[in-house]
Amino acid sequence: MPTIRMVLFILVLIATLSGCVATAVVGGSAVAINDERSLGNQFDDASIAAKIDARLIAEKDMPSRWISVQAIEGVITLTGYLPSASHIKRAVYITKTIDGVRSVRSELNVGKPAVKGLFTDSWITAQVKSRLWKDEVVSGFSIHVETVGGKVYLQGIVNDFTHRQHAKKLVSGVKGVTAVVDLMKSNQK
């Protein structure tokens, strides 16, 4: 019977071979140049997010399929839907217990997403990422995008305040965006 460590290791391995970490591995030089975090920090954040996902999936009575986890320098943002406020409270508690988590921001909603809404949010996210990747001012690699109910969450590290403003302006011009939530940090001290 597999141990919990083995299961977590496999889940972390799967997570690192897919999603944003796969981008870091496949397009490593592009990410290293454009993402303001070091590759080590990117890997740490991906590992933390994978651990959170694994814990939420393993939790009895936690329908985690509608939760998205984003980690930037140990700051976690949870977006999506859960059936009740007690589920949300439990998800936040579980997230806070993971090593490396510095803080948790819950943008979780009570309820269940409409199928049409899921497709619309995916389309909006694709449009936003496309605009960011094509832009010459901000990097699509350094800004992580999540859309829930038309509300777009921007998280990542950018050079300065003007880059933050520019990114928000780009995003607000996408059809279907109802709000832009700025969770970005400026690299400028």
Q: Measured between alpha carbons, how far is 152 from 36 in angstroms, rounded to an integer? A: 21
DSSP 8-class letter at 155: E
For residues 35 and 42, the answer to whether their CB atoms sit within 8 Å is yes
Q: Could you read off the pLDDT of 40-95 as tens digits, one per residue?
A: 878 888 899 999 989 998 888 888 778 889 898 899 999 989 999 999 999 999 99
DSSP 8-class letter at 64: G
Measured in whole angstroms, the distance separating CA 71 from the mean position of its chain's CA atoms is 6
Residue 158: closest CA among 128, 184, 131: 184
Q: And the tokens for 128?
A: 């936003």
Q: What is the CA radius of gyration of the chain?
A: 16
Confidence check: pLDDT of 18 > 80: no
One DSSP character per residue, 3-35 reads -HHHHHHHHHHHHHTSHHHHHHHHTHHHHHHHS
For residues 151 and 179, the answer to whether their CB atoms sit within 8 Å is yes
Task: Say whether 62 sits in a helix, a strand or coil.
Answer: coil
Task: Say whether 175 sits in a helix, a strand or coil.
Answer: coil
Q: Could you read off the pLDDT of 85-139 as tens digits, one per residue?
A: 999 999 999 999 999 999 999 999 998 877 787 789 999 999 999 999 999 888 8
**Strand arrangement of the beta sheet that strand 75-82 belongs to:** 67-72, 75-82, 103-110
Q: Measured between alpha carbons, how far is 162 from 70 in angstroms, rounded to an integer? A: 23
Q: Could you read off the pLDDT of 162-174 as tens digits, one per residue?
A: 999 999 999 999 9
